Structure 1
Amino acid sequence: MKMIKKVILGLLALIILGLAGVCAYLQYLQPSYSGELKIENLKAPVEVIYDDYAIPHVYAQNEDDLFRAFGYVHAQDRLFQMELLRRLSGGRLSEVFGEAALETDLFFRTLNFKKHAAEAIADRSPDSSVMRAAEAYIDGVNQYLKNGKTPIEFTLAGIPKAEFTVNDIEMIIAFMGYTFEGAFQSEAVLTYLQNTYGPEYIKDFDQSWPDGDYQLPVDKKAQIEVAKSLALVSQKLQEIDKDLAIKPFNGSNGWVISGQRTKSGKPILSNDTHIAYSQPAIWYEAHLSCPTFEVYGNFLAGTPLPALGHNPHGGWGLTMFENDEADFYREKSNPENPNQVWYKDQWVDLEIQEEVIKIKGGKDTTIQIRKSPHGYLLNGAFTDLKEHSDPIALQWVYHLLPSKHADVFYGLCTAKNVQEAEEAVQHLTSPGLNFMWADKEGNIAWWAAGKLPIRPDHVNSYVILDGSAGDDDWQGFYNFAYNPQLVNPEKGYLYTANNQPENMGTGKVPGYYVPSNRAKRILELIGIDKTDWSEESLREVINDNISSTYPPLIDSLLSVIDKNSLSKNAQNALPIIDNWKGEHELKSTAPALYYRWVYEMYERAMRDELGEDYFKDFEHSHAFKRGMRTFFLNDKSPWWDDVNTSQKETREQVFTESFEASVTFLENQLGTDQSQWHWEKVHTLEHPHAMGQVEALKKYFNLGPLPAPGGLETIDNQMFLLDSTGYYKVVAGPALRRIIDFATPDKAYSVLPTGQSGYFMNDHYDDQAKMFVNGGKRPELMNRADIEKAQIGRLILKP
């Protein structure tokens, strides 16, 4: 017995020592917020003060030291996020995640970001301020990679360390540009519908759709097949997007109020960018300061310049322009030579580039990236589409012009007034962005920036075009003067919410603009006769979760249904939705009923024509959001009839049956007490980490789920997919909420969805999460005295 006790005690001691070792190791991996470190290539010491939210304030004597030090501290917090982004954009995930990541790598290799990143770099002077900043930043990142602590994700996933390059910066920027492009999600299903069912089925879902007089000069059956091919591409991309550690952008709100309408007498800028949620959060905050450069901003992992920011003179916000900057072309392949396509009366050779994808645990795969006169062929981007139908080429502004993204944002960081800001943004090529500007001089401005293609008048850019004749080809790009823009409007405010800009003289810019729900609500709130706006009062606007679009739409829907044919329980539920003012609070009951009703109506109306796969495609498309109101109000729409039955169904039948089914569903899901159908029970927010895809690690790395207010296309735009589950798991929403009064630009206010740190054991991994869902805020400090009061650490980097 004594021997058994000794063995048991010995085992317990080993377990305790093992646990203590693990705890000590995990504690060792914490970022260093204080102390002294030696950094090579510095010209002078650099001071980094961390405030109480672990935001670094970097003070240097020159720009080279500033960006080198920032690269080091940025890597300390977000190295794994940087690594994922560069591997994702470069098509190199298979090297560490094996064959499961091959399809993702195939697609991003086909987009060839590496080649175009090199072209962007070659287009700049090596001695330019932008290149010097990029090279210094990368040196700082690599010094941390070499001498700093290895993130636990590298250890768990077996990721080898390899130095970063300036090319990685440009590829990360390119990936973010891809996430802005709406064409992938919409053009396939709309082309398929037009050619299968005719233009009457299209009119409900896109008001820019032509009358049908112009028909593509191709075989209709072949056009349907190529549309199916692109739809398969769209489905593949949806699968890829679900697994991406860095999710796509989705929208954004922004507005600027001039000083004549504010309490302080200076402009106020408000911005909340809408991005798919992830952990760590997409934005990293930092304050960079040296004698020639000062900015407080929000940075993407692996980039030295902020996408959003302000300096002591002025600042900018951004939203997605949503312009259509990519078209798809059906190419005619040579049946005797698959490496040729027919173009302008002759067979022309494809450009072919070979790439090797290394696969962990498997054999290397050699692929061919093939390019027609219009762009890269997408068929080879997925393993089961290589021989499917005719080749589909992607023509995209990003592939045609060297990226000026970094130059634009360096220019904004150093801009002192509206003229210098305009000079910076007009050089943007891709992706298209709405820039809002405000400065201490009192100027406010909005520019929809990006190179706009000149398309032939007959071309409908929302369907797949003919690549053979050349008649559908782009004819160049418009001068920036034709881009939508407005400076110092008399009304004293500007706003953007991804809505359609007005005509600037060349016709409305084609694009994937969202419905006007958010724009309408923003205008209702800030377009009033009010001259004492403040940060506090605009904080109420940025957190607003009321949709003023839904109540009148619901009135129209309720006027159609046959109330007498509803069951007693369904009739009892009518007041819930009839009295709804459009609010999406945690205890609201109408949203749960409304969104279920919407799903049931779509499902009954469209699944018979579309089938399962195309119905899912449509649910995720731009057309779904944009066409909802037009569709529901169109009593004559052909969608109401079920093509699988002999009788002709009506809109009244679909609406009535759908409402009854919605009430039954909610009774089964949430109980028969209708007062308990609370929005918080079905609408939750979770921030997924890449390691959270492993079930055993999920509870350590993921954050949430947290009950969340907000809804689809409210200002607090908490987005979800409508599906059969009855749960509305938030996938995207505000990636920050920032407001800057330029009377005091050294004390703006913001909040991140989770926190600054990328380390799951750190206090700042999630210290803003509850503040975020509750609509709170904390300061963005630029005044040194305020920063020192909030200081939690002081790190000195020495040569």
Structure 2
Amino acid sequence: MKTFKKIIFFALGFIILLAASIYGYLAYLKPDLNANLSLPGLKSEVEVLYDNHGIPHIYAQNEEDLFYSFGYVHAQDRLFQMEVLRRLADGRLSELFGEPALESDKFFRTLSFREHAKLTLATTYKDPNSPFVKAAKAYIKGINQYIKNGKTPIEFTIAGIPKTEFTLEDMEIIVGYMGYTFVGAFGSEAVSTDIMNRLGPDYFKDVLTAWPDSNYKIPVQRSALAAKNLAMMHNQLTKMNQDLAFPPFHGSNGWVISGKKTKSGKPILANDTHIAFSQPSVWYEAHLECPTFKIYGNFLAGTPVPALGHNDQGGWGLTMFENDDADFFKETLNPANPNQVKYKDTWENIKIRKEIIKVKDKSDVVLEVKKTRHGYLLNGAFKNIETIKDPIALWWVYHQFPSQHLNVFYNICKSKNAADMAKAVAPLTSPGLNFMWADTQGNIAWWAAGKLPIRPKHVNPQVILDGSTGLDDPRGWYDFKLNPQILNPERGALYTANNQPDDMGNGLVPGYYVPANRAKRIEELIFTDKNDWTEEEVRKVINDVKSSSYPSMINSIFAGLNDTELQTGGKELKTILNKWDGTHELENIEPTVFYKLLYNIYKLSFLDELGPDVFTSFEHNFAMKRNTEFFLKNQNSKWWDNIKTNEKETRKEIILKAINLTNKDLITQLGNEKTQWKWGKVHTIEHKHPLGIVPVIGKWFNVGPIPVNGGRETINNLDFHMDSTGTYKVVYGPALRRIIDFGNPEAAQSVNPTGQSGYFMSKRYDDQAEMFAKGGKRPELTNRKDIEKMIYGKMTFRP
């Protein structure tokens, strides 16, 4: 018995010792924020003060030391995120994660970011004395110094990732990946072409009319097969994007209120960029300061200058322009030579580049990347459509010019007024971005930046174009002065919410603009007689969860229905929805009912004509969102009839059926007690780490799920895909919420969806998650005295 006890005690002691050793090792890997380090090649001493949220404030004597130190600090917090993003953009995830990552690798190899990076370095970076080139090189040097001498993140050990140095090419492919925002074009143009060709203009006009005029005539002789294939690509991309370690941008809100409407007498800038959530969070915050450069900004992993930021004299915010900068061309292969495509009266050779994709535990995969005059052929990057007869080429503005991103954003950081800013943003090519500006001089401004192609008048960019005739090809580029923009508007405020910009005299800019829900609500709240706005009052707007558009949509749904035609459950649903003002709070039951009802109406109306593949793309289609209310009011729409039955269904029949189905679905999902159908039960947010899928330990890396307010196209835009489950897992939303009153720029306020640190054992890994979910805030400190009061750590770098 004594021997048995000894064995038990020995085993327990061993387990405790092992657990303590593992914990000690993991604790050791946490960054030391109180170190004194020597950086070879540093010219002068650099100080890094960390505030109580782990945000570094870097003080240097010159720019090269500043960016060198920042590269080291950024890598210390986010090296794994940098590595995954580099591999994602370069199509090299299969080396780590095996065959499941192969489709992603094929797609991004086809987009050829590294080839484009080489072009950019040979042109944009050709002057080694350009300040932004020096900054970029110093930053990369700092990352590599950390890779050589810093601690290895635990993710590298778990995933078996070798530590390799970064290059300027790596930085540029990351920038290129962040330009990948056109995934909506896949679904939109596939759906539009399919509906137009297979079902005809009557079906098209009911749900996909995207323009308020008739200047764009819809061609009818397009390939139905190409539309189906593009829809299949979109569905694969949608699934792939949900699993990406660093998801693409989706939209954003931003507005500026001029000083004549604020309490401080200076402009207030508000911005919340919309990106699919991930962990670590997308933005990394830092305050960089030396005699010639001072900025507080939000940085993407692997980039030296912020995409969002402010200095003492001015600041800017971003939203996606949503302009259509990607077209799809159906190419015609030569029957006698599959490596040629038709162009006008000749056969042109396809350019072919072979890529070797290494796959963990599998043989290498050889990918042929093919390119025509219109762009890279996409078919080889997707399953089941590699060998279709007429392949699809991607024409993308990004591919037409060397990148100017680093140059543009460096110069933005140096901008002191609206004139400087206008000059800085003009060279941007792709993706199209809305820049909002405010400064201490009192200026407010907005520019929709990006190269805008001149398309032939007959071309509707919503549908797949014909690559064989040359008639659909772009004809050139508009001058930047014709891009939508405004300076100091008389209304005293401006905003962008991914909605349609007005005409600058050269016609409306084609794009994937979202419904006006958020724009309408922003106008309701901002464009009032109020002239004493403060940061706190603006934060109430940025956290607003009410859609003033949905109540009218509910009226459209129930229009023409008598209560006598409704079953008991349907009457109860109508009563619930008729009381709704569009608010999406956790305790509300109305959103739960509304989205389930809307989904069932979609399914009963569209699924029979579209089929499951196209329907999946259709549900999140930008034009469908814009035209839903119009469709709901149209009693004569052909969509109401179920073509798979022998009867001709009416709008009323479909709506009644959807109401009854909704009541049944919700009872099955949430129970008979309707007061328990609360939004917080079905609407949640989870921030997923790339290693979150690993059994057992994965839960250590993910943050959430957390119930959240907000909904689809509310200002607090926490969006989701609708499906038969009745659960609404947030797929994207605000990646930060920042507000700056330029009456006191040092008192700027922000919040991050999770935290600053990329290490799961750090207190700064998720210390803002609950704050974010509840609409809270914390300061963006730039005054050294204030920073020293909140100091969490201090690093010193010496030559």
CA distance in 1, matches of 2:215, 2:612: 27
Match of 1:472 in 2: 472
Query: Aligned runs of 1:242-261 on 2, under 5 Å?
Result: 242-261=242-261
Match of 2:105 in 1: 105
Cα pair 2:118 2:169 within 8 Å, conserved: yes
Deviations 1:572-621 (A, max 9, x none): 23221001011011111111111110011001001111112221121233
CA distance in 2, matches of 1:211, 1:497: 25
Q: How far 1:212 sits from its partner (Å)?
A: 11
Q: How far 1:215 sits from its partner (Å)?
A: 6.2
Cα pair 2:514 2:625 within 8 Å, conserved: yes
Query: Aligned runs of 1:97-496 on 2, under 5 Å?
Result: 97-124=97-124, 125-208=127-210, 216=219, 218=221, 223-496=223-496
Match of 2:574 in 1: 574
Give the letter aligned to residue 131 of structure 1. Answer: V
Q: How far 1:666 sits from its partner (Å)?
A: 1.5
Give the letter aligned to residue 144 of structure 1. Answer: Y
Q: TM-score, normalised by structure 2?
A: 0.98
Match of 1:17 in 2: 17
Q: How far 1:160 sits from its partner (Å)?
A: 1.1
Query: Aligned runs of 1:455-604 on 2, under 5 Å?
Result: 455-604=455-604
Deviations 1:383-407 (A, max 9, x none): 4322023011110000001111111
Q: How far 1:637 sits from its partner (Å)?
A: 1.1
Residue 79 (str. 1) matches residue 75 (str. 2) = no
Q: Report the RMSD for the aligned CA atoms in angstroms.
A: 1.4
Match of 1:69 in 2: 69
319-328 vs 660-669, greater mean Cα deviation: 660-669
Q: 1:495 aligns to what SS in structure 2? A: strand
Q: How far 1:9 sits from its partner (Å)?
A: 2.2
Q: 1:385 aligns to what SS in structure 2? A: coil
Give the letter aligned to residue 152 of structure 1. Answer: I
CA distance in 2, matches of 1:659, 1:59: 62
CA distance in 1, matches of 2:120, 2:718: 35
Q: How far 1:560 sits from its partner (Å)?
A: 2.9
Cα pair 1:180 1:250 within 8 Å, conserved: no
Q: How far 1:694 sits from its partner (Å)?
A: 2.1
CA distance in 1, matches of 2:58, 2:747: 17
Q: 2:179 aligns to what SS in structure 1? A: helix
Cα pair 1:182 1:324 within 8 Å, conserved: no
Cα pair 1:461 1:510 within 8 Å, conserved: yes
282-291 vs 573-582, greater mean Cα deviation: 573-582
654-663 vs 265-274, greater mean Cα deviation: 654-663
Q: TM-score, normalised by structure 1?
A: 0.98
Deviations 1:52-87 (A, max 9, x none): 000000111111111110011111111111111010
CA distance in 1, matches of 2:556, 2:99: 51
For the structure 1 residues 215 and 779, does the alpha-carbon distance in structure 2 shift closer, same or farther, using more than 3 Å as the test?
closer
For the structure 1 residues 482 and 178, does the alpha-carbon distance in structure 2 shift closer, same or farther, using more than 3 Å as the test?
same
Q: How far 1:627 sits from its partner (Å)?
A: 2.2
Q: 1:764 aligns to what SS in structure 2? A: coil
CA distance in 2, matches of 1:367, 1:666: 47
CA distance in 2, matches of 1:658, 1:595: 12
CA distance in 2, matches of 1:353, 1:669: 51
Q: 2:748 aligns to what SS in structure 1? A: strand
Give the letter aligned to residue 652 of structure 1. Answer: K
Cα pair 1:98 1:362 within 8 Å, conserved: yes
CA distance in 2, matches of 1:200, 1:604: 18
Query: Aligned runs of 1:646-661 on 2, under 5 Å?
Result: 646-661=646-661
CA distance in 2, matches of 1:562, 1:87: 58
Q: 1:669 aligns to what SS in structure 2? A: helix
Give the letter aligned to residue 701 of structure 1. Answer: F
Cα pair 1:327 1:395 within 8 Å, conserved: yes
Give the letter aligned to residue 350 of structure 1. Answer: I
Deviations 1:414-443 (A, max 9, x none): 001110000001110000000000000000
CA distance in 1, matches of 2:349, 2:551: 57
Deviations 1:642-685 (A, max 9, x none): 00111111111111111121122222222222222211111111
Give the letter aligned to residue 403 of structure 1. Answer: S
Give the letter aligned to residue 495 of structure 1. Answer: Y
CA distance in 1, matches of 2:553, 2:310: 40
Deviations 1:689-740 (A, max 9, x none): 1111224233211111111000110001010111100111111111100000
Cα pair 1:277 1:733 within 8 Å, conserved: yes
Q: How far 1:168 sits from its partner (Å)?
A: 1.1
For the structure 1 residues 576 and 214, does the alpha-carbon distance in structure 2 shift closer, same or farther, using more than 3 Å as the test?
closer
Q: 1:690 aligns to what SS in structure 2? A: coil
Q: How far 1:208 sits from its partner (Å)?
A: 3.0
184-193 vs 719-728, greater mean Cα deviation: 184-193
Identity %: 57
Query: Aligned runs of 1:33-52 on 2, under 5 Å?
Result: 33-52=33-52
CA distance in 2, matches of 1:707, 1:258: 35
Give the letter aligned to residue 421 of structure 1. Answer: M
Cα pair 1:216 1:465 within 8 Å, conserved: no
Match of 2:712 in 1: 712
CA distance in 1, matches of 2:216, 2:628: 25
CA distance in 1, matches of 2:592, 2:19: 45
For the structure 1 residues 217 and 567, does the alpha-carbon distance in structure 2 shift closer, same or farther, using more than 3 Å as the test?
closer
CA distance in 2, matches of 1:504, 1:53: 44
Q: How far 1:146 sits from its partner (Å)?
A: 1.4
Cα pair 1:547 1:714 within 8 Å, conserved: yes
Cα pair 2:231 2:617 within 8 Å, conserved: yes
CA distance in 1, matches of 2:257, 2:37: 44
Q: How far 1:479 sits from its partner (Å)?
A: 0.2
Match of 2:4 in 1: 4
Cα pair 1:199 1:211 within 8 Å, conserved: no
38-47 vs 707-716, greater mean Cα deviation: 38-47
Q: 1:797 aligns to what SS in structure 2? A: strand
Q: How far 1:235 sits from its partner (Å)?
A: 1.5
Q: 1:236 aligns to what SS in structure 2? A: helix
CA distance in 2, matches of 1:608, 1:238: 22
Q: 1:746 aligns to what SS in structure 2? A: helix
Cα pair 1:182 1:322 within 8 Å, conserved: no
Deviations 1:457-506 (A, max 9, x none): 00111111111111111111100010000000111100000000011111
CA distance in 2, matches of 1:257, 1:12: 64
Cα pair 2:216 2:457 within 8 Å, conserved: no
Give the letter aligned to residue 243 of structure 1. Answer: D
CA distance in 1, matches of 2:699, 2:682: 20
548-557 vs 441-450, greater mean Cα deviation: 548-557
Q: How far 1:364 sits from its partner (Å)?
A: 1.5
Give the letter aligned to residue 168 of structure 2. Answer: V
5+ long unaligned stretches in structure 1: none
270-279 vs 8-17, greater mean Cα deviation: 8-17
Q: How far 1:352 sits from its partner (Å)?
A: 1.4
CA distance in 1, matches of 2:114, 2:535: 42
Cα pair 1:379 1:392 within 8 Å, conserved: yes
CA distance in 2, matches of 1:479, 1:550: 39
Q: How far 1:226 sits from its partner (Å)?
A: 1.2
5+ long unaligned stretches in structure 2: none
CA distance in 2, matches of 1:562, 1:360: 62
780-789 vs 4-13, greater mean Cα deviation: 4-13
294-303 vs 1-10, greater mean Cα deviation: 1-10
For the structure 1 residues 90 and 271, does the alpha-carbon distance in structure 2 shift closer, same or farther, using more than 3 Å as the test?
same
